[in-house]
Every structure is written in C-alpha cells, then in structure tokens.
Structure 1
Amino acid sequence: GPTREAWSEAADLSAQIHIRYVDRKYSSILGVAPRMYDDIWVAGKVMYKLEPVIEDSGELIIYAPHISEVSYTHGKIIDRVGYHTRDYFLAQMERFEGVPRGILAHSTHVKGGGTYENGVEKPRVNVVLATGIPEERCRKINLGYRDPSTVNLDLWKNREHEGCLFVPRAGETLYRVKGESYET
C-alpha cells in the first residue's frame, strides 16, 4: 500500500508491542538496567523510558551494580557539564557553547523535565544511581546516589498498590499511563 498508510499501521502496531500502558503514575520506581548496558550513556534509557509514569517529585532509581562508568566515550565532558534539565541549559547556552549538543541532549534526557528560574534548577523527579559509580562522582554530575548493596530487589516487587514500581530489564520498553496524551 501507500507509504504513509504502511507507516501509520506500523506505528500503531509498534504502540501495541513496544509500549506498556499502566493505570497510574508511581512515586518510586526501581528500574533494573540489563547487563548489556555498560555505562550510563546507554543505561540512561531506564529514565527516559520510565519518566512518563513517575509522579512529580518522585524518585527513579537506576539499579545497575555492574556499571562503573558514566560514559566511556563522553565521560570527561559529562563530568564537567553534569546532568541537568533542558531549561538549565537553555538559560545559559553561552556557558555550554563548546559542548556537543548530543551530550547536552543526553544530559537532559537522563535528568528529565523540570524548570530553571532565577538561578534555581528544579527537576521534576529525583534520578538516583545505584551503580558501581562512586557517590562523590554521582553528586558531581548532579545525580543522586544509593549504595546498590542496600537495595533488596525482592522488597520492590509487587508493590504497585503502594505507588512503587519494579521494572526488570528497564530501558527496553516505553511506559505510559493509559488515557494520558503525550506531545510528539
């Protein structure tokens, strides 16, 4: 058939296969990054695939004890720039003039939505790393830290009724709330 119709049908099918629809947002999410994600550059997908289902002021934990590097390719730049909301960068683009835009985009995708007003950044959610990356470095790049050895995965399971979501193999499937509209 015509190209546009074929693409539209493919998009509809993809929405059924690659998106998991849930009934509500959650105050806490623990996303377990698969071992195939070897740095936060890739494991950041845990955040942006789950961001649509986390409440404002909620906490999203990227659990990946096997990850010990922010980015094998761009780590030094990310150490300098950190993770911030889009508005943080837009308000002071001259400060980040020499930073590749792909790195800034990655930073905003992992940090998520939020505001930057009067010199104060207010992220919509708190992103926490429970990885092999030291606490000092997590704080330096503007992300939260949790010692992965203190996370009991079993205590996270089957607690959706409490507002807690456990996602094994996080980052592979997009999550959305049923009935909510999303900008494209």
Structure 2
Amino acid sequence: MPQNPVPPIARVAAPGKLLSDADVVALVAEACPEADYRGRRVLLIIPDHTRTAPVGLLFKTLFARFGEVAAAFDILTALGTHAPMSEEAIRARLEITAEERCGRYGRVRFFNHEWDNPAALRHLGTIPAEEIRTLSDGLFSMDVPVTVNRRVDDYDQIVIVGPVFPHEVVGFSGGNKYLFPGVSGPEVLNFFHWLGAVITTVGVIGHKWTPVHHAGAMVRTPKLC
C-alpha cells in the first residue's frame, strides 16, 4: 500500500459553485504523493456509463500525477451485470480521444468486469448466515459466498473513482460498492438485491453498515476511494 497512508481528505465547493480543475489537481496531489506510487501496479475501478461523475477529469488528473512512474496504470469497469463497454465507450467515459488513447495513454489497459465468467473470479470467503441474520434483523439467513474479479489481486493499489449516492440495494454507492457488486461474482451480487427486497428500500437506503462492507474487508489489496 502507499508508504504513508493519508487521513481523509476533502474539498468542499462554495455554495452555488463547483470545484475547479485546479481544486481537483490540488486534492489529488495531496491524497496521492507521487513517490508512494512509483514502481507500483495501480488499478483504477470506474463506473460504467450508467453513473454520473467527472470520471474523465479524475482519470486524467491521476494519470498526470503518477501514471508515468507507476509500473502499471490500468482501468477495470465496474459493470455489475451490465453489458461490457466497447473500447470507444470506455474512451468516451474517460473523455479521451482515439489519438490520446494511442499516444499519451497508450500504456493504459482497459478491462471489463466479467461477472458470469467463473475463470475471471476468485473466491474470497463466506459471509456466514449468522451475520446475515443480524444485518437483516432475522429476516434473512444464509451463507453467502464472496467472489471478486481476479484482477484485484494483480495490483499493489486499487483506486476507486466514482460518485457516492444513497443506494436502494447497498445503502450507499461508492467505495466498496464498486467492488461488491461492481466487480463481484453472481452469488453476492444476486444476494444483495434479494436482501434489499426483503429488508425494503427504507431499511437499506442511506445505511452505512451493510454486507457490502463485510465483503469489502475480504479484499486485501489496499484501496483508495
């Protein structure tokens, strides 16, 4: 993981204003010292086109910060069960041209999550029925196998780029939600949706402690959100 983990860092725009590009550059510089990423393999996990966020700005800013000194700087799209994105669609998501893709960002590899390909997944463990029973106030009880995209093990650092919103299935989007269900296998992915139906949206949306966080703790690769 980065040699000097940083405390939470934030920028808040003035009322009626947006953060400027310069604000974003300053935030990334503070959160991501170049030396901490030199020679390291970095995987950016990004949302697909169904989520709104300044993904292009963040991708370009992060790459400018340490993309040239990292051993790898690659993209994994957190599709859940959504359709794979084409090369052109990922370029559009990152707001880069075909020329930039072949030039400045030529070393960046693009990957789509494959939730329905067992060979692309790794089993991390199981959320036991007792924990599920507690989280659901006794409404649901079953062991939940936790699988995730194998690529998360191929890197020294995961950087999750995406928005944070209240979410009717996993409490909040953002953070570990981009791992589970974003790049998870079908068992945990399907379970979250069943759990949301059983507990109801009112019991899930806006709640921090959901099975997503239990599953996220099983991923040992350091994460920056």
**When the two structures are superposed, what TM-score results if normalisation uses the length of structure 1?**
0.36
Higher strand share: 1
